[in-house]
Amino acid sequence: MQHETMPNFLKKRAFLTPERTAVYFNDQTISFKELYEKSYETAGQLKSLGVKKDQYIGVILKNHFDTVVILFALQLMGVKAVILNNRLSKKELVWQVNDSKAAAVILENEFYEISQSVEVPVIKKEDLFAATLEIPEIQEEIHLNDVCTVMYTSGTTGYPKGVLHTYGNHWWSAVGSALNLGYTDRDRWLCSVPLFHISGYSILMKSVIYGMPIILHESFDANKAIGDIKSKHVTIMSVVGTMLFRMVEALEGSQLPNYFRCALLGGGPAPLPLLEVCKAKAVPVFQSYGMTETASQIVTLAPEYSITKLGSAGKPLFPSQIEIILENGGVAQANQAGEIIVKGPNVTMGYLNRPEVSKEKFNQGWFHTGDIGYMDEEGFLYVLDRRSDLIISGGENIYPAEIESVLLAHPDVADAGVTGFNDETWGQVPVAFIVPKKNAKVTEEELIQFCLVSLAKYKIPKSFYFTKELPRNASKKLLRRKLSELVHEGRIQK
């Protein structure tokens, strides 16, 4: 891969299909030709502000048309974008800027507060677009092994790590997705997930690689999503379970149009009741498994298997491989749980400024995800849980996601999270956090009886806490480690 080059993605797309719409944002639309011209101009302004090829530049921006332009301007210059989560605290953002050794930070005015705490130049978006225009040096070609972007993982253990994404990672992710989901020139992808997450940024890359319009939303709103699916002929949308649940509720008695062909579901397996409602409303759900380190999905389940292979994330995309390995390093048999390892040209080459962690995570080209799962006889992957969330109670392994899936099937439960609490007798015991549905009066005893139908006794939560919402990150992933903090800090009662 070292010597593989390709034309600059955006420049090539603007040449191939200049008049096609690239982005819909609120009332704005822009063609690929216009997007290239605007990004070229912004690259010239970045140059006048001292931004240079091969630098790492921090980006703290919201889902907005301007963000698309800035991100492509950085690509045109051969600058590595460190795309930061704008919902983090000031302290977390400052830590990541410093950790990345970014040469400068581009941000929205409302995030300017961090400028006093970082030791690098800070460029406000408004100042960037008002800057003098110089003639930029455009990278006519990109090397597939050159770093394009850096995104920090949520850091379930220790500090977050900056995941390196090469142009090759993004290219092969888009190719693998197209070979799996299919692609037509009528496709339009709705992006209401954050661009600072791989789920959002990968849609941006697919847009220029496929020549496909994206419909960009500032944030997720179920009614707006349904409205744009209908009015802008959206065919594909990336979702997590909570988004899908809200959309199904908002649909009420209606259905999505039949040209909508894929709700690409990430962020963990969906509970059976949700999948059954989606099936009844003809919402085609493709369940998937992926992470920042795999540049988005690496395993996907087609909707025809969504009920017969309930809980499965599917099979690996064409360019990718997965295996399940045991603690002794041996390969697991069918239905035997172990660590999920992945391999493929969409998998990161490592972490920014973390050579020791990168070395530890890779073995003969295989990336060790830290996730636990198994494959059935037909090669369908079932993800049991994050290794860091594993509860070991009396020597038994308990996977929180399994208990959550059962709790979510209860008709009065809107959301559920499970984590391990220390226990003198068992070492750890599972504890559940429940968000009841509106006006529902579900009790602890009722939930225990409900769980006993599907779970072994040692897996039944020993305590239940009822709350209005659960801690989730910007991509709606449950932050289990924060559940116990709610109790210990006295912010939640039994």
CB under 8 A, 24+ apart: contacts of 316-319:
316/342, 316/344, 316/381, 317/176, 317/177, 317/179, 317/180, 317/344, 317/346, 318/175, 318/176, 318/179, 318/180, 319/172, 319/175, 319/176, 319/179, 319/344, 319/345, 319/346
Q: Which two tokens stand for residue 280?
A: 């009844």
- Is the residue at 154 inside a domain? no
Q: Which of 125, 143, 161 is the last residue of a domain?
A: 143
Question: Angle, nearest 10°, between helix axes 241-251 and 272-280?
Answer: 40
298 and 229 fall within a common domain: yes
**What are the φ/ψ torsions at residue 354 (nearest 5 degrees)?**
-130, 60
Q: Which two tokens stand for residue 94?
A: 């400052």
- Rounded to 5°, angle at Cα 42 from 37 and 46: 150
484 and 340 fall within a common domain: no
245 and 301 fall within a common domain: yes
Domains of the chain: total: 3
What single-letter DSSP state applies at residue 472?
B
* CB-facing half-sphere around the CA of 160: CA atoms within 13 A: 23
99 and 210 fall within a common domain: no
Q: Range of 482's domain?
A: 390-488
- Is the residue at 283 inside a domain? yes
Neighbours of 140 (CB within 10 A): 11
- CA dist 322 and 341 (Å) reads 6
- Is the residue at 310 inside a domain? yes
Q: Which of 143, 160, 186 is the last residue of a domain?
A: 143
Q: What SS3 class is residue 326?
A: coil
With CA atoms as reference, report the closest residue to 42 among 74, 83, 11: 74
pLDDT of 491 reads 67
289 and 346 fall within a common domain: yes
317 and 461 fall within a common domain: no
- Listed in sequence order, the residues at least 6 apart from 157 whose beta carbon sits closer than 8 Å to its beta carbon are 388
- Is the residue at 150 inside a domain? no
- Is the residue at 156 inside a domain? no
Strands (E), 16-84: 21-25, 28-31, 56-60, 80-83
Contact at 8 Å (CB) between 220 and 188? no
- CA dist 265 and 217 (Å) reads 17
329 and 208 fall within a common domain: yes
- The separation between the first and the last C-alpha atoms of the chain, rounded to the nearest angstrom, is 56
pLDDT of 475 reads 76
Q: For residue 213, give the CATH number of its domain.
A: 3.40.50.12780
- CA dist 398 and 39 (Å) reads 50
- Is the residue at 149 inside a domain? no
* CB-facing half-sphere around the CA of 169: CA atoms within 13 A: 26
Element (H, E) at 250: helix 241-251
Q: For residue 54, give the CATH number of its domain.
A: 3.40.50.980
232 and 349 fall within a common domain: yes
- Is the residue at 355 inside a domain? yes
- CA dist 339 and 329 (Å) reads 10
Q: For residue 432, give the CATH number of its domain.
A: 3.30.300.30
297 and 355 fall within a common domain: yes
323 and 269 fall within a common domain: yes
260 and 355 fall within a common domain: yes
Q: Which of 362, 387, 412 is the last residue of a domain?
A: 387
pTM: 0.85
Residuewise pLDDT in 10s, the chain (494 residues): 457 999 999 999 999 999 999 999 999 999 999 999 999 999 999 999 999 999 999 999 999 999 999 999 999 999 999 999 898 888 889 999 999 999 999 999 999 999 999 999 999 999 999 999 999 999 999 999 999 999 998 654 557 899 999 999 999 999 999 999 999 999 999 999 999 999 999 999 999 999 999 999 999 999 999 999 999 999 999 998 888 989 999 998 899 999 999 999 987 667 778 888 898 898 999 999 999 999 999 999 988 898 899 889 999 999 999 999 999 999 999 999 999 999 999 999 999 999 998 899 999 999 999 899 999 999 999 998 767 787 878 767 787 988 998 899 999 999 999 999 988 778 889 999 999 998 998 999 999 999 988 887 888 999 999 999 999 887 788 888 889 888 877 667 66
Q: What SS3 class is residue 295?
A: coil
350 and 403 fall within a common domain: no
- Is the residue at 195 inside a domain? yes
